[in-house]
Every structure is written in structure tokens, then in C-alpha cells.
Amino acid sequence: METIATVKEMQSLSSRARREGKVIAFVPTMGYFHEGHLSLMREGRRRGDLLVVSIFVNPTQFGPSEDFEKYPRDFARDSKMAEEVGVDVIFYPNVEEMYPSDHQTFVRVTEVTRGLCGRLRPTHFQGVTTVVAMLFNIVMPHVAIFGEKDFQQLVTIQQMVRDLHMDVEVVGMPTIREADGLAMSSRNVYLKKPEERKAALSLHLSLNRAEELLKRGEKRAKAVIEEMEKILRSEPSVRIDYIQVCNARTLQDIDRTEGDVVIALAAYVGNVRLIDNFAFQATPNV
Ligand code: AMP
């Protein structure tokens, strides 16, 4: 496994691989790996001849009061884990390499970024799409793999790729969870106290309840949201940011669950902001 820190070197390695007819698979990450990241890498290994993983904690996707500085980082551990799943190249640039001092270009997807996490984090997705567009130009992948855990991010990137006619196949992979159902996240390390860890599970439990209601035929989004709120409110340390029932492609709120639906939520457990979601195909109304 090779580690590359400069844009030029990464581009020349990718150009060479393309000339040789190799399929480049790419997994962009911010590091501090867990099984969720590894599942994307395994899929990349299956799909590509050259598997590139980037590790870059992207400053432009963090708001001014967010955790950019203290975001967990451990390159030695990450590179060992990546090597074990068969990654060929880790692209590991520093901030100056990605954003030279005269950088002034941003990519903004306007509609699907408005609601959900975009409401509280107004510049977040612009940071994500900008860095992913850069990374696509640097790594030149044929296929890029993202997690459904960050559902709005996945939809936003799919929209960007369509709108900008980028020649990259974007693949979404299911959320990997802890044994009890908590969605894996690098930010789970912030859940230091056992009672916070327990409270965090209520996100998953509320989505389970939503699934149960939908399977029983409940179609009213409002009724589903109310039931989810009850579960989250039973944990005093949980503060709901949003619970939304949306069309899974447009991310617009819907009143009735029809077609491809995603139920997404964000909540604070103490000071830690967590997200989770549940996507499904609702049976048409008869
Ligand atoms: P991050 O390092 O948090 O920016 O995540 C890098 C990639 O891993 C993104 O595509 C995420 O959606 C994906 N990811 C994060 N957590 C999970 C998870 N629990 N299961 C599957 N994919 C995940």
C-alpha cells in the first residue's frame, strides 16, 4: 500500500492506471476508521483494479462552532486497517495542498441541501461537494463509494454528478451498526459516558418504531414522527434537531409515505450531534 500526499503525484498515478485500462474505485473519508468505512473499502476492492481511499478532514464542511479541530484523527491506525482490507493507495493531503491560499471556487447543489442537515449547517454541503469534486478531479475514479448513513450527502453527490456530467458511478452502501443497532460513526468516540451511549441508541429505536408502524400500514408522516418523538423524548439528554419524512430522491417533506421514502433524523446527545435514517420503498396506496 502506498501513501500519497500531493495532488500531482495522485493525478499521475491515476492517469497511468487509466492508460493501463484499470478500473479505479474510490472511497473518500475523513479517517478514524470503523467497520462502516471498511465495508465501503471492501466494496471498492470488489469493483476496482486500483482501490484509492482518501483521508482528509475537510475544513470547509465544518461550521465555525463545529468540531474541525477536535475531530478524531489516527493515521497510523487507519493505514493499518486500510492495508488489511487491501487498499492500494491512501491519498492523504494536508489542508494547504487541497486549499492553496488563493482558492476561491466552490460547488453548490441548491435544492437537496436545503432541508434536513442543511438547515442547521448552511455551508456544510457546499464544503462536501467542493471537496468531493476536487477529489474526483485528483483521483479520477470510475466508481466512488459512499455510505447511506449520510443519506443527504449521498443524494447531494448523486445530484452533483448528474448536474455536472461527471463520468463517475456513485454507489451507496448500507449503514453498518454496532451490535445493539447504533449507527457506527467516528463521532461515537465523543459518547464517553455510559448513559450517553445508552441515550444515543434511542435514534435507532425510534427508526425501528417507524419501520414497525409503516409495515402495519401507517401512511401518515405526522403520526410516524409523533411516535418517534415519544421515544427520543424519553431520554432526557437527547435534544431533537429534526425528524423528517421525505421523498428519497428530492428530499422534500411528504405528508404520506408513498414511493421511495427516507425517514431521517438528527439529535444531540449532550453536545454530540448524531444522525441516522431509514430508507424504504413504500407500497403504493390502494
Ligand atoms: P466520514 O469519514 O464520516 O466522512 O465517512 C466516510 C464515508 O463512510 C461516507 O461515505 C459515509 O457515509 C460512510 N460511513 C460513515 N459511517 C458509516 C456507517 N456506519 N456505515 C456505512 N457507511 C458509513
Query: What pLDDT digit, counting tens, does each position of 173-221 carry?
Result: 999 999 999 999 999 999 999 999 999 999 999 999 999 999 999 999 9
Which residues participate in catalysis according to the annotation?
Answer: 37
The rounded Å distance from CA 102 to ligand 1 centre is: 30
How far is the C-alpha of 226 from the C-alpha of 235, rounded, in Å? 15
Residue that is written with C-alpha cell 432526557 in the block = 236
Q: Which of 150, 186, 189, 204 to mutate to test the pocket of ligand 1 (most atoms within 8 A of CB)?
A: 150
Name the region of 276 (left: φ>0; alpha: ψ -120 to 50; beta: rest): beta
- Looking at residues 83-89, what average pLDDT do you find? 98
Atom of ligand 1 nearest to the CA of 147: 12
Q: Would you say residue 156 has pLDDT above 90?
A: yes
Residue that is written with C-alpha cell 459518547 in the block = 191
Give backbone dihedrals phi and psi of 195, rounded to 5 degrees, phi first: -70, -30
So what's the pLDDT on residue 284? 55
Residue with the smallest CA separation from ligand 1 atom 11 is 147
So what's the pLDDT on residue 286? 44
Cβ of 176 below 6 Å from ligand 1: yes
Cell numbers describing residue 176? 453498518
- Looking at residues 3-27, what average pLDDT do you find? 98
Cβ of 274 below 6 Å from ligand 1: no
So what's the pLDDT on residue 223? 98
How far is the C-alpha of 69 from the C-alpha of 56, rounded, in Å? 13
DSSP one-letter code for 220: B
How far, rounded to the nearest angstrom, does the alpha carbon of residue 274 sit from its chain's CA centroid?
12
So what's the pLDDT on residue 281? 80
Q: Would you say residue 63 has pLDDT above 70?
A: yes
